[in-house]
């Protein structure tokens, strides 16, 4: 028998359970810099576990390490069927990674907690990343029994909508230096009824990385639910950052288009933008100058440490270039002697293939531009043909003449967009992800057909 609280929760879930499509989840995790810039992540309204699985997928976990998986990623959900869905999704993901069923199940049970994020106590100061698509539903719509408890617990400035209560509680719960990544309706940024909430959040946070999203492609309803279009909301994705790198938030409405709209086209429409591959720790697929391995199987690499004052130093390391055909015995012997140091996430069924395959895609046979992901300002650096960029700290832009790409990145309108979109990290550094670069609108005078450039 369902008690009245379960019936109320089912009604709230029915109204608020609108799930996020994977590409938007991935883009939000990119913007949050998870996991490079995060230790522990919470989704406070986990639904069917989409955020949790995406966050786990990015972690280098040992097989069956339940404790570590549950320490790094956690989700709250109060609707039992959704809890079961999320646990199934987490468990299936871990089994795909080679975990045994009992460990996968235990981890899923610990990671997805059947718990009310608003009305029940939650630990404070242990999660430094909150990633959420919070429920939104007005106070007046809440089932009567739930509403009584809700009004008793939630502060007046956060009471008018479940969304406000979620934002307020997230700010209370996250660590002092933590980030909150949100996919939400834009109303709380603009409404007068949320001005006190904005003012309070603004004493701790700036807003970075605001992007308008398309409701039709961002959200979907759980399968078993009634058909129909998603609610008519104007969704945005943004990061609340405790650093000063974003735009200030205050009682006044937060308008979404701060800089004058740039007349141009997104960089993704005119150039190729890709993250440099990760090839594992040094000494396996990446070797020094005196490896003695056959030179025709080695490619000089470029990594973040090779960048000095805006230029690239001569290569100091080389990558083994292997493809699906078996490499010569010297390379196999080298790999057999070193592959035991490869973390699990880098292991491939074909042992001579690196964690992320690059042959056929990189290195490029023409010059391109490297963008360091972590930098004080968006900066491009010439990457000569034949040099392989490695490491997720680098993004490569290609497909246009280098001088043209460098001029685009230097344009003040492009710099301003990059600063608005980038998540601030400590000491004035920002994170310029591949997702961010793809969105930058390049003013027309830089476009290939424009004679002046």
Ligand X SMILES: C[S@@+](CC[C@H](N)C(=O)[O-])C[C@H]1O[C@@H](n2cnc3c(N)ncnc32)[C@H](O)[C@@H]1O
Q: Is 450 left (phi over 0), alpha (psi -120 to 50) or beta?
A: beta
As measured in angstroms, the least distance from the Cβ of 175 to ligand X is 20
- 17 near ligand X (CB under 6 A): yes
As measured in angstroms, the least distance from the Cβ of 370 to ligand X is 34
- 150 near ligand X (CB under 6 A): no
Q: For the CA atoms of the chain, what is the radius of gyration?
A: 24
Question: With CB under 6 A as the contact rule, which of the stretches 76-84, 194-202, 322-330, 412-420 interacts with ligand X?
Answer: 76-84
- 235 near ligand X (CB under 6 A): no
- 87 near ligand X (CB under 6 A): no
- Tell me which residue of 301, 404, 411 sits closest to 358, measured CA to CA: 301
**Binding-site member from 30, 31, 33, 51 for ligand X (CB under 6 A):** 51
- 133 near ligand X (CB under 6 A): yes
Cα 412–Cα 416–Cα 421 angle in degrees, nearest 5: 150
- Tell me which residue of 428, 97, 68 sits closest to 245, measured CA to CA: 428
Considering the complex, state which of residue 77 and residue 306 has its C-beta at the smaller distance from ligand X: 77
Give the residues across from 161 on adjacent strands: 138
The residues near 313 (Cβ < 8 Å, ≥ 6 apart) are 306, 307
Considering the complex, state which of residue 162 and residue 206 has its C-beta at the smaller distance from ligand X: 162
As measured in angstroms, the least distance from the Cβ of 23 to ligand X is 12
As measured in angstroms, the least distance from the Cβ of 10 to ligand X is 9
Considering the complex, state which of residue 16 and residue 241 has its C-beta at the smaller distance from ligand X: 16
Kindly identify the residues of this chain, within the stretch 24-43, that bind ligand X according to CB under 6 A: 43
- 218 near ligand X (CB under 6 A): no
Its sign, for the CA torsion 32, 34, 38, 41, is positive
CB-CB contact of 84 with 48 (8 Å) = no
- 45 near ligand X (CB under 6 A): yes
**Binding-site member from 77, 113, 356, 420 for ligand X (CB under 6 A):** 77
- 99 near ligand X (CB under 6 A): no
- 19 near ligand X (CB under 6 A): yes
Residue located via tokens 């290569």: 315
CB-CB contact of 76 with 46 (8 Å) = yes
Query: How big is the chain, counted in residues?
Result: 453
Residue located via tokens 């502060």: 155
Number of CB atoms found within 10 A of residue 301's CB: 22
**Binding-site member from 33, 35, 47, 264 for ligand X (CB under 6 A):** 47
**Binding-site member from 135, 242, 264, 372 for ligand X (CB under 6 A):** 135
As measured in angstroms, the least distance from the Cβ of 444 to ligand X is 37
**Binding-site member from 27, 28, 32, 46 for ligand X (CB under 6 A):** 46
Considering the complex, state which of residue 78 and residue 99 has its C-beta at the smaller distance from ligand X: 78
Q: Measure the CA–CA gap between 235 and 408, rounded to whole angstroms.
A: 29
* Total of chain residues touching ligand X, rule CB under 6 A: 23
Q: Measure the CA–CA gap between 26 and 352, rounded to whole angstroms.
A: 29
**Binding-site member from 33, 87, 111, 117 for ligand X (CB under 6 A):** 117
Question: With CB under 6 A as the contact rule, which of the stretches 78-86, 252-260, 346-354, 411-419 interacts with ligand X?
Answer: 78-86
DSSP string for 109-162: HHHEEE--TTTS----S--SEEEE-----BGGGS-HHHHHHHHHHS-GGG-SBH
CB-CB contact of 136 with 16 (8 Å) = yes
Considering the complex, state which of residue 86 and residue 208 has its C-beta at the smaller distance from ligand X: 86
Which residue ranges make up the site for ligand X (CB under 6 A)? 12-13, 16-20, 43, 45-47, 50-51, 76-79, 82, 116-118, 133, 135
């Amino acid at each position: 028998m369902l008690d009245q609280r379960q019936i109320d929760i089912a009604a709230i879930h029915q109204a608020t359970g609108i799930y996020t499509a994977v590409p938007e989840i991935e883009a939000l995790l990119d913007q949050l810099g998870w996991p490079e810039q995060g230790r522990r992540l919470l989704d406070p309204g986990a639904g069917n576990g989409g955020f949790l699985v995406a966050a786990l997928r990015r972690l280098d976990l040992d097989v069956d390490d339940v404790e570590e998986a549950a320490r790094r990623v956690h989700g709250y959900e109060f609707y039992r069927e959704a809890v079961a869905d999320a646990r199934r999704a987490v468990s299936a993901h871990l089994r795909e990674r080679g975990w045994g069923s009992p460990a996968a199940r235990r981890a899923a049970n610990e990671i997805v907690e059947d718990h009310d994020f608003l009305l029940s106590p939650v630990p404070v100061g242990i999660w430094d990343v909150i990633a959420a698509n919070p429920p939104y539903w007005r106070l007046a719509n809440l089932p009567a029994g739930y509403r009584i408890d809700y009004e008793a617990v939630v502060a007046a400035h956060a009471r008018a909508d479940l969304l406000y209560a979620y934002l307020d509680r997230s700010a209370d719960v996250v660590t002092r230096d933590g980030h909150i990544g949100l996919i939400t309706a834009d109303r709380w940024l603009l409404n007068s009824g949320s001005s006190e909430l904005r003012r309070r959040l603004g004493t701790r946070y700036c807003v970075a990385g605001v992007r308008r999203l398309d409701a039709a492609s961002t959200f979907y309803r759980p399968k078993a639910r009634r058909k129909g279009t998603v609610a008519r909301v104007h969704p945005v994705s943004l990061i609340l950052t405790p650093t000063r790198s974003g735009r200030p938030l205050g009682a006044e409405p937060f308008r979404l288009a701060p800089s004058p709209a740039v007349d141009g086209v997104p960089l993704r429409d005119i150039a190729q933008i890709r993250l440099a591959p990760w090839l594992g720790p040094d000494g396996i697929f990446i070797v020094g100058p005196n490896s003695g391995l056959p030179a025709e199987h080695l490619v000089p690499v470029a990594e973040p440490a090779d960048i000095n004052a805006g230029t690239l130093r001569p290569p100091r390391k080389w990558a083994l270039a292997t493809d699906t055909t078996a490499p010569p015995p010297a390379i196999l012997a080298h790999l057999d002697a070193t592959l035991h140091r490869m973390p699990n996430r880098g292991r491939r069924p074909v042992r001579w293939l690196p964690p992320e395959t690059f042959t056929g895609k990189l290195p490029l046979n023409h010059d391109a531009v490297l963008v360091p992901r972590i930098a004080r300002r968006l900066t491009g650096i010439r990457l000569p043909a034949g040099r392989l960029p490695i490491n997720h700290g680098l993004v490569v832009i290609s497909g246009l003449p280098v001088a043209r790409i460098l001029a685009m990145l230097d344009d003040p309108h492009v710099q301003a967009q990059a600063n608005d979109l980038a998540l601030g990290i400590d000491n004035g550094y920002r994170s310029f992800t591949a997702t961010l670069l793809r969105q930058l609108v390049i003013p027309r005078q830089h476009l290939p057909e424009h004679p002046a450039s």
